[in-house]
Amino acid sequence: MFYRKDESARKALGRLGAVASTLAVTVAVGLTALSVEPHQTLAAEGGGGGALGEVIVTARYRQENLQQTPLAISAFTGATLGQRSLDNVDTLGNVVPNAYIRPNGAAPTIGIRGVIATDFIYATEPAVGVYIDDVYFGTLVGSAFDLVDVDRVEVLRGPQGTLFGKNSLGGAVRVVSKKPQGDGSLYAEGTYGSLNRLDFRAGFDIALVKDELFLRATGVSKYRKGYITRLDFTCQMIKEGTPQLAGIGDGVVGWDPAANGGAGGPIMGTPGSAADNAFSFPSIRPANGKDCTLGTERGEDKRGGRLALRYVGTPGLEVLVSADYMDDNSEAFGAVMKEPRSFPLDSLMVNGLFGPKYGLTDIGARFDRPEKSYTSFETYADPISGEVWPDKNSNKSWGISSTVDYDVTDAVHAKLISAYRKYHGVYLTGDALPLDMTTTYNLLSHRQTSFELNFTGNAIKDKLEWTVGAFYYDAKSHLGGEVQLEPFNFLGFIPPFAQNDSFASTNESAFIHLVFHLTDKLSLTAGGRFTHEKKVYTFDHTGFLTIATPSVSSTSRFDWKGGLDYKITDRLMVYTQASTGFRSAGFQPRPWTPGQLQPFPQEKVTSYEAGFKSDMLNERLRVNGDVFYMDYNPRVVTTNAAQCTPFNSPDPGAPVFGPLGGVCPPGTPLAGQNGWNWFAFFSAPGKVKGFELEVTANPIDDLTINYSAGFNDFSSSIKDVNSPGYRNPHSLIQPKWNMSAGIQYDWRLGKAGMLSPRLDWFYTSHNTNSAPAAEPDPAINVIPAYNLFNFRLTYKTDDNDWSVSFAVTNLFDKFYWYSFAAPGGQNTLGSPGRPREWAVTLRRNF
């Protein structure tokens, strides 16, 4: 069941053979039309030999110069992403001002400007829209896309409710893939590095019919071991010289259930005796004195590909059809012990279950690890029942889309985007303990169909640029698997149960966007979008609670936008705008009684923003900045409360807020008793203000410098400290600051090629994870600020046929935390960031 070195090697050789076969076929097909793949110059990236190049974006449904687009946008070409070692959506948070994007198991945390979603359950919705080639991806699960074969990435900051619609109240992330060009290009690339990293990527772009029909294909395979090591607890305690922590040599030879007034207690005997050593925690892997490893967590094991077919044979018509597939069989995400676990019900379970069986009566300090550790005692097994779960977080996903662009007239353009996507996966969570305290084994599936038809055009002698469109989205999702909450099960509260929840949603919307050029310098922007949504949630936790009647929510929403921009000069523009966005309504996804399955309303943001975009010093210096203020109301949050009506009551009544439910007040049916626990939702509105700055400079030929900074400050609108919606001013939504900087020099070696060293710096200020109303404890509730550095050295031949790169991420091997988890109201689990890793990449262009 557990990962063995010989099995790892065998699988690696198998992958290598499969990829080699794929590459051979790719090369054979691509050689039908060899030519050098066009090289995008560094000047076009914002660097290189002279003036900064033009960056084209399509954030307003038409091609525009980034510097002439009155929006807060961060744009990165595919080459830029590679130079900065940004290979996944979840790495974009390092370089986008006020973006908070972190890996987090099945679903990444994605937020912008303090508008964040973290829950993977389909009853809730993302807060930032993620788009792949203009196709909306409807769930947080699976949205951490690998940035492979990417032309560019655009990150729009602030609500995008008019053009992008639902769940874009924080912003939108747009990933745009490379289109087939029919240029006969072919490339192959391999990477070897730390943690047995072995990546391959290859692709070709050919003309099937000259000047009419083009095909582009890309294949990718990625593998590396995880950086968190799972250890056999008993084996490791022997190795560390503390076997008594596993019950070996501690003198406990049995258990007396009548001791301590019936609470039970150990029976003492001879330390080190056979009886003593037998009455101990079992070793899953026999101790060999050297290696106590059970496996690793956070490793990658992915294979996939993309095919794109493009037709341009009819004047005014372009048809693009693409299909992609990804088989992700990566290791479980996992966490490490940050603080000894302290949950009130644990001691009852331990004394009643693990004491009599193993003599263990303390699971706090017994399983503690060093403060800075990449190790865990997670087994993904229950030593009591013998049940074992897979140590993988797998996801198989695929999709197909088509885009039809048609020039209706010289002034009117139509675009139809149709898409279907589907995935199914496994997501497992544990608690970094060898004991099975909390396990959720989630089986996730989702399918979606979407259509968008839009028209763009010009009118009134090109003074008016207009866009109108309609959007339809239909999705069905399912959450299966098993949940075990052992302390509650032991006490008879909540038995293990099977999940069988289904979710359905539809979205229908229509939008209009207008840009009126009042003068050559002054332009007015206005837009609106009407949305109607319907959602159905069927809750079935077989073995605990099944609610026969589905919950239904039907809502409508109108979003608007208005703005002005003024071109002071050809290279300096200022703008101001106001806009709205919304996050779809949802349902309380974890009810304990039938009446608790309550809908909660849409979240809404109204944003006010002013900014500037400038090119200076003969276009060698580019400075873009903005300030913003957002009214976030409603802002839906959840906290512990009590239901003070009977379990089967269809009306749960008003929640009584307090830890683990609390005592019901007079006048309620359960007055004086502990109410049923309830994760109650309510609105806790707030304001967010901040600023953003992005700078790119070519002070001298071949030297590129970039810098970005974001600051955001959230303040709660609830000032009453006794209100359940109150938030302590020191309790943060996301880190207040993030910054990045980079410097690269292209050392030209004449006919010998070019050598390009690059250094990047990323900074994130501190964050917190305490209960919102509480003052964060610096010892356990403050996630410290950190600085990270990446280094990359790239050599390219003069003809660009060959390139080799040596990259080091986390150059100074900084130990840092992404986040802390807080089961039971206490910080126990931590998510450490990646340690220092190196990689060598060899690429051949044909």
Is the pLDDT at 12 greater than 50? The verdict is: no
User: CA torsion, points 427, 428, 431, 435, in degrees to nearest 10?
Assistant: 180
Q: What pLDDT score does 491 carry?
A: 76
Whole-number Cα distances in Å, 178 to 41, 210, 439, 489: 16, 19, 41, 52
Q: What pLDDT score does 2 carry?
A: 30
CA 204, 208, 212: angle at the middle one, nearest 5?
A: 115
Among 164, 118, 204, 79, CA closest to 580: 164
What pTM was computed for the model?
A: 0.90
Average pLDDT over residues 238-255: 92
Q: State the DSSP H helix or E strand holding residue 47, giving kind and residue range, or none if neither.
A: none
Average pLDDT over residues 626-651: 92
CA-to-CA distance for 327 and 146, rounded, in angstroms?
Answer: 12
- The domains of the chain are located at 56-170+194-199+213-227+301-334+378-635+684-845
CA-to-CA distance for 216 and 214, rounded, in angstroms?
Answer: 7
What is the CATH class of 56-170+194-199+213-227+301-334+378-635+684-845? Answer: mainly beta
Instruction: Give me the chain's average pLDDT, please.
Output: 88
Edge-to-edge strands, sheet with 829-832: 336-337, 829-832, 817-821
CA-to-CA distance for 535 and 558, rounded, in angstroms?
Answer: 18
Are 305 and 324 spatial neighbours (Cβ–Cβ below 8 Å)? Answer: yes
Beta bridge partners of 323: 307, 400
Question: Which residues contact residue 363 at a Cβ distance below 8 angstroms, ignoring those fewer than 6 apart?
Answer: 341, 346, 350, 354, 433, 435, 437
User: By three-state DSSP, how is residue 197 classified?
Assistant: strand
Confidence of residue 145 (pLDDT cuts 50, 70, 90): confident
For the chain, the maximum distance between any two Cα atoms, rounded to a whole number of angstroms, is 98
Average pLDDT over residues 650-654: 88
Is the pLDDT at 199 greater than 90? The verdict is: yes
- Identify whether 487 is preceded by a cis peptide bond (ω within 30 of 0): no
Q: What pLDDT score does 309 carry?
A: 98
Phi, psi values for residue 353, rounded to 5°: -125, -55
Name residue 453's amino acid.
L
Is the pLDDT at 666 greater than 50? The verdict is: yes
Among 131, 89, 115, 116, CA closest to 448: 131
The structure tokens listed for 499 are 């999940």
Give the residue carrying structure tokens 């802390």.
820
435-493 pLDDT, tens digit each: 877 788 999 999 999 999 999 999 999 999 999 999 999 999 999 999 888 777 777 77
CA 630, 114, 661: angle at the middle one, nearest 5?
A: 110
544-556 pLDDT, tens digit each: 899 988 999 999 9
CA atoms within 13 A on the CB side of 737: 12
Among 678, 611, 672, 686, CA closest to 649: 678
Q: What pLDDT score does 53 carry?
A: 87
Is the pLDDT at 752 greater than 60? The verdict is: yes
Among 627, 609, 610, 628, CA closest to 573: 610
Percent of the chain with pLDDT over 70: 91
CA-to-CA distance for 135 and 421, rounded, in angstroms?
Answer: 10
